A = this chain, B = another copy of it.
Amino acid sequence: MRGAGLSVIAVALFTARPASADPAPPPRVQGERIVQHIEALSEFGRNPQGGVSRVAYTEADRQGRDYVMRLMRDAGLSVQIDAAGNIVGRLAGGDPALPPILLGSHIDSVPNGGNYDGDVGSLGAVEVAQVLVENRLALRHPLEVIVFENEEGVTVGSHALASGVEPALLDSVSQSGRTIRDGIQFLGGDVAALASARRAPGSITAYLELHIEQGGVLDREKTDIGVVEGIVGILHSEARVEGFANHAGTTPMDQRHDALLSAAELVAELNRIVTRAPGRQVGTVGWIHAEPGAYNVIPGVASFGVELRDLDEAKVDSLFGELRAAAERIGRARGTRVSFSEPVKTRPALTDPRLQRLIDRSAKALGFSTRLMPSGAGHDAQEIARIGPVGMIFIPSVGGISHAPTEFSRPRDIENGANVLLRAVLELDRNGLAEP
């Protein structure tokens, strides 16, 4: 009899399945569907050479948002654009008294960026909502899927929602060429009613964001899921070295006040300062200039950009203090004068430890390996942390590449991340932040 063997195995498999109190299998996202949606979204702003330029407030951005709103409606969400221009898709909850669970991310990109930064979290959240609807899994809490506008600029949409927007920011010109004020209107927001988009502290149960790591740690370690401890604080300062420009042929080595030499010594010193301390802090010099800038002239002025990041603001301050002390020493030794512009700082935003554990539990229950890690990049979650507990789920970025056309996350990892998000939402809805 053809097929008799298979039938035996099938029977054996079904027999092997343990009897359960809840006979319905736990819901799972459809990974293929998320990937299809990512591919469809990638059409809006696609670059001929690959990658995407869906810069906030451009026509590509608006078209991409229209597409995502259509997806949300098709999934059964009720969709609105808030006054700040954020897309808010909502599922009603069984208990309207409970504050909503928020999921979200963004779909705007940097110029010449990739198709995973923001898109994975936005479309992953839509998928989670769709799976809930499809499986008739009604939640107790209202669920909101938010696609924040202009994350790549300065997390404008999430900032507006959590903290309001300063008038000076509204008047600033975004990378689209439009002011943020005009950009919000362009997307269907209402700057005059901006206050209506604001949410009060304590008004949400939690905010969860799925995102690609944008670094290479998970990929290198072959870890499935990153549980984000927090989003690092950032310090920027411009260093300026003043020496004395002179003829490179006629000025003996011991008579020089070489601004670039001092700058170079400081660049190397910053690396030593940052790497000799224990921890995961990072420090970067990304740009440098020397003047007048000719082969045969000793530079009289050199300037460069200092960036420091860590989860601990005090550590960032202390590293910067060490750099300033090194600058004093080098300046004295070299006959130059080093000054730093007033540091511009973004404060670190920590995720909620209960949500860290919830994400870790959810991932492990699904059989995934995890690691706790900081987010070195900024995210909308850092803004939302001002009004309630936030958690973030990272999935691997192949080769650690991001903000580039070659940015890539494997379909399997995208599916894994969305499944962790789904499972975390279900437990959160069941137990709130209470832990088992």
Contact = CB atoms under 8 A, between A and B. Distances in A.
A253 B1 CA distance: 64
B255 A216 contact: yes
Given A284-B298, A286-B294, A249 B234 contact: yes
Nearest to A254: B275
Contact of A299 (B232, B253, B286, B401): B286
Given A261-B267, A268-B268, A250 B377 contact: yes
Given A267-B264, A268-B261, A280-B252, A293 B287 contact: yes
A110 to B, nearest CB: 11
A214 interface: yes
A258 B271 CA distance: 10
A433 interface: no
A423 interface: no
A282 B251 contact: yes
A100 B52 CA distance: 74
Contacts of A403: 247
A34 interface: no
Contact of A252 (B215, B286, B378): B215
Given A286-B248, A286-B296, A287-B295, A274 B261 contact: no
Given A247-B376, A309-B249, A267 B271 contact: no
Interface string A239-277: 000000011111111110010110111011001001100
A307 interface: yes
B255 A274 contact: no
A305 interface: yes
8 contacts: A234-B249, A246-B400, A247-B377, A247-B403, A248-B309, A251-B282, A260-B288, A263-B264
Given A261-B268, A263-B264, A264-B268, 17 more contacts: A216-B255, A217-B252, A220-B255, A247-B402, A249-B375, A249-B376, A250-B376, A250-B400, A251-B376, A251-B400, A252-B280, A253-B271, A253-B274, A253-B275, A286-B290, A286-B295, A295-B307
